[in-house]
Amino acid sequence: MNTAVQSDNKQMQEIVEKVRRGERLTLEDGVFLYKSDDLLTIGQLANEANLKKNGKKVYFIENMSLYFTNVCEAHCAFCNFRKDEGQEGAYTLSGEQMIEYVEQHIHPGVREFHIVGGHNPHVPFQYYVDSIKALHEKYPEVTLKAYTAAEIDFFSRISGLSYKEVLQELMKVGLKSLTGGGAEILSDQYRKKMRVDKADVSQYLEVHRTAHELGLRTHTTMLYGSIESHEDRIKHMLQIRDLQDETNGFQVFIPLSMQPINPKAGIRRRNSAFEDLKTIAISRLMLDNIQHIKAYFINIGTQLTQVSLTMGASDAHGTIVKERISHAAGALTPEGITREDLIWLIKGAGRIPVERDTFYNEIKVYE
């Protein structure tokens, strides 16, 4: 065996022992795991770590994705959802119009509205408040998980209110949790190159810090698979881990596999299955203080989601009903999935499906 292979084996063994002793992995450990092609060892280790945290339970929610507006002042290089005001296909719905849409598509058992959209500067902050207020009044039993940290930063800019004041105004009308989007890669250099002309790294983290201080439990994401390095991804995870040490407000980490702008794009324009599974497993190993890692079937497909449940993922997301952002960017997956299909998928991986609410309280365990 040559010395490089011996050295790799030794380093992998050291990481295995660290994880089993409950020691934290470092930046160097994370980068090594990304460079390794030993997916089975990485996946097995992540599976061990997940089983310690969550046993064989895999969580899902009956939810519905809603988008009030696709008009956006930002021009992020990876986004195919945004439109300019007046452009063909641009829309900005009132609360009443959204209720009409929901009534046409909602099914019994929906517990959460997942609400994100464009940064539309042509309407005031009050529009965004009124949007969720209308939903909360019509569907008081459905939890509102609304807006990304980047949207909260945008609302702060257009209203002149602080992050805390913006969040308090939204909480008054029913906001219960923030979505995880807007993180992309937490590197200002990356954000400059990818024209992420919205909240910067410190602003993204500060919004979540403020939300956690106000008692909101939030989600967080990482959009991977474009120009970032493996080191950028691990640094992203470490910044999330540090904030979680401070606030303990993140419920779940969601690795989002970048979609090509064109649905007809070939496989070389997409992340490989190997890369997707490795990212889920490494997320589980690096983020020892976050309870759940989500496998997002919209971006990686249902079958890979099923495999990921044995490689560190403990959340299979939810029914969604009709996803638009990843599909605008070329996702080839279903726009939604039924509860029965999710249960089948989870059981097929030898796991126990658990229907949850937004805060991971168990609604029903499907033994």
Can you say which residues are annotated as belonging to the binding site for [4Fe-4S] cluster? 72, 76, 79
CA–CA dist 26, 317 (Å, integer): 28
**Torsions phi, psi of 327, nearest 5?**
-70, -30
**Torsions phi, psi of 253, nearest 5?**
-110, 135
CA–CA dist 238, 256 (Å, integer): 17
Q: Which two tokens stand for residue 352?
A: 């126990």
Binding site residue list for S-adenosyl-L-methionine:
78, 184, 195
User: Between the CA of residue 349 and those of 57, 223, 337, what are the distances in Å?
Assistant: 11, 25, 17
CA–CA dist 311, 284 (Å, integer): 8
DSSP states of 105-123 as a string? Answer: H--TT--EEEE-----TTS
User: Between the CA of residue 296 and those of 27, 183, 253, 313, what are the distances in Å?
Assistant: 25, 16, 11, 10
* CB-CB contact of 152 with 208 (8 Å): no
CA–CA dist 317, 311 (Å, integer): 16
CA–CA dist 147, 275 (Å, integer): 28
Binding site residue list:
72, 76, 78-79, 184, 195
